[in-house]
Amino acid sequence: MIKMKNIRTFLLLALPLITIVIAVTCTSSQVASQSIEPELAAKPTSEVVLRSEVQWGPLNPARGDQSPKAGTLWGDRTASGPSGFLVEFVDGFSSPPHIHNITYRGVAISGTVHNDDPNAEKMWLPTGSFWTQPAGGVHITAAEGSNNLAYIEIDEGPYLVLPTEEAFSSDDKPINVDPSNIVWIDQPGMPASANGPKVAFLWGNPQDDQLYGSFVKLPAGFTGKILSHGSTFHAVVIQGQPQYQVTNETDLKTLVPGSYFSLKEESEHQVSSKATEESIIYVRTNGKFDIIPA
């Protein structure tokens, strides 16, 4: 159940949608800018970054040891252009009020995160929650838990932390969605199945090769493949430990939460979930993608 506190607005964006056969129109509350240029895949076939391979540094170097840690998954948050990165918070972290020069999206991977107006009562977002922070909006970020980790992405860098004196208005709206309010649907065009892959639409416009974001849920014991048709495809494991394999390669990788993989246009990759654990993956792409059970 969504709790509405102070000036924040909790929105549930879940529309019959995507992946696989896509026919959804963009909602008025979308956060993505439609002028974003398509991103090109960086590797000939795919790229995999295990969480253990992530290189960490301060998210806000000006705060030194008091800053959360950040680790790049794709792009470069210090330069122009889009990027995606992990942020790790210590238990009990709470930032001073601040703003950002750009809007960002976040997904809670572990622990709990609070992101809101400085005077708002704490509303903790657990694993699988989705939120956005509009550019120019004054807010704080806090975290509780022994292992606090979130995925953050931006559409245009650099990512800057600025004082509240520089606050400004933005057309983007703050969004906080608890996982209990995510609506999962069967893949359009596929027979309804309680044990099949599920999808949930989060933001953007999946028509006309524009960028959009979604969750993909692979049930426990799932084995199959992902077919990507867009020019860009970024995927971050949020929950579970799926195994990933590029077609015609023998290397099988276990992707713990926080791990990342990308696909090239028209590429095919094997993916599976553990027999006793479902997997949830956040996907950012600009084209259709198919999840096909074996």
Is residue 163 domain-shared with residue 108, that is, in the same domain? Answer: yes
> Which domain-ending residue is among 125, 148, 180?
180
Element (H, E) at 104: strand 104-116
CA angle 266/207/215 to nearest 5° reads: 70
d(CA 41, CA 104): 21
| Alpha-carbon gap, residue 270 to 197, rounded angstroms | 14
The pLDDT value recorded for residue 23 is 34
Q: Are residues 175 and 206 in the same domain?
A: no
Token duo for residue 144: 């509780």
The pLDDT value given to residue 188? 64
Output helix, strand, coil percentages for the chain, rounded to the nearest 5. Answer: 5, 40, 55
Looking at the structure, tell me whether residues 124 and 93 fall in a common domain.
yes
User: How far is Cα 288 from Cα 23, in angstroms, rounded to an integer?
Assistant: 10
* Shared domain check, 151 and 250: no
CATH number at residue 112: 2.60.120.10
Predicted pLDDT at 169: 95
The structural domain count of the chain equals: 2
| 239 and 122 inside one domain | no
Final residue of a structural domain among 157, 180, 203 = 180
- 79's CB contacts (< 8 A; 6+ apart) are 157, 158
Instruction: Answer whether residue 61 is part of any domain.
Output: yes
Q: Looking at the domain assignment, is residue 207 inside a domain?
A: yes
Residue 11 lies in a domain: no
What number of other Cβ atoms are within 10 A of residue 50's Cβ? 16
Last residue of a domain, one of 126, 146, 180: 180
Residue 24 lies in a domain: no
DSSP state of 84: E
Quick one: 167 and 240 in the same domain? no
For residues 148 and 113, the answer to whether their CB atoms sit within 8 Å is yes
Q: Is residue 173 part of a domain?
A: yes
Same domain, 164 and 188: no
Q: How far is CA 130 from CA 9, 10, 245, 262, in A?
A: 13, 10, 27, 21
164 in the same domain as 77: yes
Query: How large is the greatest C-alpha to C-alpha distance in the chain, in angstroms?
Result: 55
Tell me the pTM. 0.84
Same domain, yes or no: 170 and 185: no
Burial 4-43 (b: 16+ CB within 10 A, else e): eeeebebbebbeebbbbebebebeeebbbeeeeeebebee
Place of tokens 């960028």: 211
148 and 90 in contact (C-beta within 8 Å)? yes
Q: What is the pLDDT along the chain (294 residues), one digit of tens a residue?
A: 444 443 344 333 333 333 333 333 333 334 333 344 445 444 446 799 999 999 999 999 999 889 999 999 999 999 999 999 999 999 999 999 999 999 999 999 999 999 999 999 999 999 999 999 999 999 999 999 989 999 999 999 999 999 999 999 999 999 999 999 999 988 766 677 778 899 999 999 887 788 999 999 999 999 999 988 888 999 999 999 999 987 777 788 999 999 999 987 677 789 999 999 999 999 999 988 889 888
Residue written as token pair 């794709």: 74
Instruction: Please give the Cα distance from 125 to 225 (Å, whole number).
Output: 31
Count of H helices and E strands in the chain?
0, 21
Shared domain check, 64 and 169: yes
For residue 32, being part of any structural domain is answered with: no
Peptide bond into 174 cis (omega under 30): no
pLDDT of residue 265: 67
* 40 assigned to some structural domain: no
Identify whether 231 is part of a domain: yes
For the purposes of burial, counting CB atoms within 10 Å of the CB of 276, is it exposed (0-12), middle (13-18) or buried (19 or more)?
Answer: exposed
Note down the domain range covering 254: 181-293
Specify whether 173 is located in the same domain as 187.
no
Same domain, 216 and 270: yes
